[in-house]
Amino acid sequence: MLAAAQTTGSVGIGTATPNDSALLELSATNKGLLLPRLTNAQMQAVPSPEPAGVQHHP
């Protein structure tokens, strides 16, 4: 795994040069992103979810 942090505040996983406009850039041709899986009860228990936040329910 390759990870890089630059003075721009961008972090890259799988890339040595993350895009300056990205907070986090993931790059892979053989893997994907796995978000934490929450039950409906767990999702409802999040105290102050961000309006644009991502919550994954399988």
Angle at 39 between CA 31 and CA 25, to 5 degrees: 30
Dihedral sign for Cα atoms in the order 35, 10, 3, 17: positive
Give me the pLDDT at residue 7, please: 56
**Cα gap 13→24, rounded to integer Å:** 8
* Number of domains the chain contains: 1
pLDDT tens digits for range 6-35? 455 889 999 999 988 888 899 999 999 888
Residue 16 resides in a domain: yes
- Beta partners for residue 24, in sequence order: 11
In a domain, 6, yes or no: yes
Give the domain extent around 22: 1-28
Average model confidence (pLDDT) across the chain: 81
CA nearest 25: which of 9, 47, 36?
9
Q: What is the pTM of this model?
A: 0.56
The predicted-structure confidence for 5-14, as pLDDT tens digits, reads as follows 545 588 999 9
